[in-house]
Chain A
Amino acid sequence: MFGRFVTKGEHMSDRVVQAVPTTADVVHHHQPPQGFIRKYVFSLDHKMIGKQYYALALVAVFIGMVLSWLMRIHLVWPNWPIPGLGLLSKVGAPGGVMTPEYYLSLLTMHGTLMVFFVLTNAPFAAFGNYFLPIQIGAEDMAFPRFNMMSFWTTFLAFCILIAAFFVGDGPPIAGWTSYAPLSAVGADAGPGQGFGQTLWGLSIFVFCIASLLGALNFIATTLDLRTRGMTLSRMPICTWAWFITSCIALLAFAVLLPACLLLILDRVAGTSFFIPAGLVISDRLQPHSGGSPLLWQHLFWFFGHPEVYIAILPAIGIVSHILINSMRRPLLSHKVVIYCMMGIGFLSYMVWGHHMFVSGMNPFSSLMFSFPTLVITIPATIMTLIWLGSLYGSRLRITAASLFALGFISMFVSGGVSGFFLAQPSIDIYLHATYFVVGHFHMVMGVAAIFGVFAGTYFWFPKMTGHMMNESLGKLHFWLTFIGTYCIFMPFHYLGLAGNVRRYSAFVDDFLVPLIPVHRFITIAALCTGAAQLIFLYNLIHSRFRGAPAPDNPWECTSLEWIMPSPPPFDNFGGKHVVVYHDPYQYGVKSSTGDYLMQNSPEQVEVRT
């Protein structure tokens, strides 16, 4: 079934040499990496670095998921001793029963791990690193050493963050948003606000450096290393997504970096960037003055809002790429989708105040932020309509990858519509800091963006490892996850409408107690859905070693990563310079390979609409 239009043993790369005798024949000698350390540890190869990022994201997502199970269990069975938890923290969970502060620690670490180490790492750093250079016909990134540094710096940031679990006072309790002055004054503010919070600040500071290096690399590579014939408009849509995301990331992380530095200085150097005078905490008048808590919020959200688009745009790109391939036809317009991604990137810098409607900032600015927040719905809607409109009349193939891509559309819609409520300051008066917000961002980030990662995994695993994943297990994984995540996160919106406040470690208020049965349903759904992810993990590991051998192009896809064997050679194209003749949307055509045409094929065909 796979690759039936290519004769066994033949590779698309061979056709390049036969068809174009001149520049493509120029062979460029490049030494392959030698030795275990150079090959697998301190690798300069973007493909290995991409896999390292993926592995790190995988570890982070499992830790983050376990933390969420612990949180959900505590909310509905607070007095049940959780086996093993007492070992992780004697102080935080004596006898396995979680204290309120430890709940907040787990909540903080869950958010931090998921947003930074999963959602920035997997769709962007992992897949982008692996596939961007190949998709543009380059041998590697523009700065392979920066690339290696960016991964290991990310790894260092991860280690610093995890270390917070093991320091005396435990991890910080201020949430992933780490608002000042709670996060800025030091140990007086509560357990976890000593060394743990400083480690958090340090970890994110280091993470920012890593991300800046990565973003620089992506931008330079995309602009400078495209092969002959690979104009910007011929780049696959996911390459565009990674490129636009890097542009957003460059400015966003550049703001979070100094913000973390200022936070650390307030904590250890006696400065008062974020701390005003006259605060009495733990019966002590704090020796600070002149600072502004709102300054932290502005700096954080100026980063934080673009960050969520950094999380979703690569998933949008990956899903679009996979849908085009699965539908066997181009999108109604790629230019429009790319412009929408650019529009979203640009607008993402104008909306950060919608996290601060009731924060005490000038209420007139709330209206100013609300307007672009509503406007950003337009490109999101256009993209959704284009995906739906492209499905019409297509020849859709159902695979594990395409199921997750289709599921993404459903999730993106669900998560997006709740944003419509939160964008309006008057409604936000009621819904701010409730589970409605938590439902919104989990659906778009925790589910939709992750579906993009799953889709990318099922799609690209054959190319990355040379083995096919088990399709039946993949489909089972999809059904359980799709239904499971709806069961978990839809009810969050109902709870929010009832005014259920977020970041509570227990529900003791009069109006919250009646809602606990709904929370119980959610917890059970979360545990079941979490268990279903073990199917994915098993499939990944088992297929890596025992999966059926993967042909060069199992999905009959047009982009350059599919012209070489699976996995590609260390320099991507065997020393040859690829020449590109087409955009990557040549589907629904009649060609010698079938209903599609590879980008590097010199064949010309009439495109059937």
Chain B
Amino acid sequence: MGKLFAVIVFVIALLSAIPIITHSWFGSGISFALPEDISTHGHAIDDQLSDTMVEAGLSFLAAQFVLAFFVWKFSNRQANAEIKTFPGGAKGLVIAALVLVGTEMLALGILGQKAWATVYFTPAKPDAIQVQAQAGQFAFYFRYPGADGKFGALHPDKIDEGNSNFFGLDPANDVDSRDDIVTGELAIPINREVHLMMHAKDVGHSFYVRELRIQQDFVPGLDLSVHFTATKVGKYEIVCTQLCGLGHYNMKAYLNVLSQEDFDAWMKQKASEQ
């Protein structure tokens, strides 16, 4: 039965690797490939992911194959078969682990640091498009500052969903908020940096756009932000990834990346609808 174990481990290891290598579910047409990267920073993340996949994949296969091989060879031997010590003993293995894992760690840690830094350690450019995002049970709303370039103040006690006052603006008393543009979709122009300021209305939520390689939690009480630049026109799903209640599975919006002209037209259209 030791040999059966060895065969099964070997087969499972191979079968597990196939969908990773082919990026699909055994020829069914279902793809597991990362969606296309439409951001300026995403390639660093994708490279990091592939490097890690190679190292993790090789380690996975090597460990499973060695396990299978040793169980095949050394199970159910004769009662008086010689007990042998692995060459190098524990010391050799400890050194191997330190060297292998140590170098992998250093490499991935140092390389990966750059990808993280690009997203989080650099501030948004001063001429980035400012958009505010609010997450609440169970929808995302977005606000643009309008012609005056200023966002009006937020008053949670004035939030009135029935009258579409999602952000709790007070245009009667607050001049800055009169030209604010509130939408249910996040439209942005291509190839221009966007500074997305994020706050939560009620509980924790998260902003996840796979193609943008961006994920950031909304934390009640904190004003957080992300900045990114989209490089391809199209419609992309924004989904909530922080458990927020019964509507969590259905909480989404669309990121609409438009050409500059289309974006300007869209803004004009939205401004007139307010």
Of B88-96, B144-152, B176-184, B265-273, which stretch is located at the interface? B88-96
Specify which chain A residues have a CB less than 8 angstroms from the CB of B213 in the assembled complex. Answer: 429-430
Contact present for A426 and B204 (CB under 8 Å): no
Q: Who on chain A is nearest to B57 by CB? A: A417
For the complex formed, measure the closest distance between the CB of A534 and the CB atoms of chain B, giving whole angstroms. 22
Residue count of chain A within 8 Å CB distance of chain B:
114
**Contacting pair A394 B74 (CB below 8 A):** yes
CB <8 Å contact, A173 and B246: yes
Given the complex, which residues of A lie within 8 Å of B172, measured CB to CB? Answer: none
Instruction: Let me know if A427 is at the binding interface, CB within 8 A.
Output: yes
Q: Give chain B nearest CB distance to A406 CB in angstroms.
A: 6
Residue in B116, B244, B252 whose beta carbon sits within 8 Å of that of A366 in the complex: B116
Are B246 and A609 in touch, CB under 8 angstroms?
A: no
Residue A113 lies at the interface, judged by CB distance under 8 Å to chain B: no
Q: How far is the CB of A491 from chain B (nearest CB, A)?
A: 8
Partner of A336, one of B30, B94, B116, B241: B94
Per-residue CB contact flags for chain A residues 399-414 toward chain B (1 = under 8 Å, else 0) read: 0000100100110011
Across the interface, name the chain B residue whose C-beta is closest to A413: B63
The answer for the CA separation of A181 and B222 in the assembled complex, in Å, is 13
B112-147 CB mask vs A (1 if < 8 Å, else 0) is 110110011100000000000000110000000000
Establish whether residues B101 and A391, one from each chain, have CB atoms under 8 Å apart when the complex forms. Answer: no
User: In the bound complex, do residue B49 and residue A475 qualify as a contact, i.e. CB atoms below 8 Å apart?
Assistant: no
Q: Which of A332, A384, A394 contacts B63 (CB 8 A)?
A: A384
Shortest beta-carbon distance from B103 to chain A in Å: 11
Contact B83 A588 (CB under 8 A): yes
Contact present for B75 and A358 (CB under 8 Å): no
User: Would you call A332 and B204 a contact (CB within 8 A)?
Assistant: no
A410 and B201 CA atoms in complex are apart in Å by: 45
C-alpha spacing A253/B145, complex, angstroms:
48
Tell me whether B105 and A396 are in contact (CB under 8 A).
no
Contact residues, A11-29 vs B (CB, 8 A)? none
Q: Does any Cβ of A come within 8 Å of B245's Cβ?
A: yes
Of the candidate stretches B156-164, B185-193, B255-263, the one touching chain A is B156-164
Q: Which residues of B contact A501 (CB under 8 A)?
A: 208, 239, 241
| Chain A: CB-nearest residue to B88 | A389
CB distance from B199 to the nearest CB of A (A): 9
Contact A280 B243 (CB under 8 A): no
**Is the CB–CB distance between A426 and B243 below 8 Å?**
no
A331, A434, A503, A588: residue with the most chain B Cβ atoms closer than 10 Å: A503
Question: Bound complex: CA of A137 vs CA of B177, how far in Å?
Answer: 76
Do B2 and A396 have beta carbons less than 8 Å apart? yes
Please name all residues of chain B whose beta carbon is closer than 8 Å to the beta carbon of A174 when the two chains form the complex: 243
A181/B30 in contact, CB under 8 A: no
Most buried by A among B49, B168, B203, B206: B203
Question: Which of B5-63 touch A at CB < 8 Å?
Answer: 5, 8-9, 12, 16, 19-20, 25, 28, 30-35, 44-45, 48-49, 52-53, 55-57, 59-60, 63
B64 touches A (CB below 8 Å): yes
> When the two chains form the complex, which single residue of A327, A360, A510 contacts B237, counting CB atoms closer than 8 Å?
A510
Taking a contact as CB atoms under 8 Å apart, the answer to whether A378 and B79 are in contact is no
How far is A187 from B247 in the complex, measured between Cα atoms in Å?
15
Given contacts A100-B247, A393-B85, A424-B48, contact A279 B60 (CB under 8 A): no
Complex CA–CA separation, A185 to B64 (angstroms): 48
A367 within 8 Å of B (CB atoms):
yes
CB contact under 8 A between A388 and B25, given known A333-B89, A393-B82, A499-B210 = no
Residue A370 interfacial (CB < 8 Å): yes
Number of chain B residues whose Cβ lies closer than 8 Å to a Cβ of chain A: 105
In the complex, what distance in Å separates the CA atom of A404 from the CA atom of B237?
Answer: 43
Nearest Cβ in chain A — how far from B128, in angstroms? 18
User: When the two chains form their complex, are residues B52 and A190 in contact, meaning their CB atoms are under 8 A apart?
Assistant: no
Is A421 among interface residues, defined by CB-CB distance under 8 A?
A: yes
Q: Given A391-B71, A393-B84, A396-B76, is A294 in contact with B245 using a C-beta cutoff of 8 Å?
A: no
Q: Is the CB of B249 within 8 A of A292?
A: no
A492 to chain B, nearest CB (A): 11
Q: Annotate B220-248 by CB proximity to A: 1 below 8 A, 0 otherwise.
A: 11101000000000000101011111111
Counting CB contacts under 8 A, is A90 at the interface? no
Contact A382 B97 (CB under 8 A): yes
Q: Please, how many angstroms separate the alpha-carbon atoms of A608 and B81 in the complex?
A: 12
Contacts of B115 in A (CB 8 A): 426
Nearest CB to that of A382 among chain B residues? Answer: B97
Chain B residue at minimal CB-CB distance from A294: B219
Contact flags (1/0) for A428-442 with B, using CB distance below 8 Å?
011011100000000
* CB nearest to A419 among chain B residues: B56
Q: How far is the CA of A182 from the CA of B60 in the complex (A)?
A: 38
B74 to chain A, nearest CB (A): 5
CA A413 – CA B224 in complex, angstroms? 37
Q: Is A370 touching B25 in the complex (CB atoms < 8 A)?
A: no
In the complex, the answer to whether B109 meets A424 with C-beta atoms within 8 Å is: yes
Contact status B156-A374, CB under 8 Å? no
Interface residue A99 (Cβ < 8 Å from any Cβ of B): yes
Which chain B residues border A329 with CB–CB below 8 Å?
83
A179 touching B112 by the CB < 8 A rule?
no
A429 touches B45 (CB 8 A): yes
Q: Does B214 contact A (CB under 8 A)?
A: yes
Q: Are A394 and B83 in contact (CB under 8 A)?
A: yes
A498 touches B (CB below 8 Å): yes
Give the residues in chain A near B85, CB-CB below 8 Å: 332, 392-393, 609
- When distances are taken between beta carbons in the complex, the residues of chain A under 8 Å from B34 are 430, 497-499
- Shortest beta-carbon contacts, A-B, top 3: A276-B221, A393-B84, A333-B90
New A-B contacts (19) at CB < 8 Å, excluding given A382-B93, A503-B249, A515-B30: A101-B245, A276-B221, A276-B222, A327-B74, A332-B90, A333-B89, A367-B113, A370-B109, A382-B97, A393-B74, A395-B83, A406-B5, A413-B60, A421-B53, A433-B215, A479-B8, A486-B12, A505-B246, A505-B249
Q: Which residues of B contact A (CB under 8 A)?
A: 1-2, 5, 8-9, 12, 16, 19-20, 25, 28, 30-35, 44-45, 48-49, 52-53, 55-57, 59-60, 63-64, 66-67, 70-71, 74-77, 79, 81-86, 89-91, 93-94, 96-98, 100-102, 105, 108-109, 112-113, 115-116, 119-121, 136-137, 156-157, 159, 161, 168, 200-204, 206, 208, 210, 213-222, 224, 237, 239, 241-250, 252
8 contacts between A and B (CB under 8 A): A276-B221, A283-B161, A359-B217, A360-B218, A417-B56, A427-B52, A497-B20, A497-B32
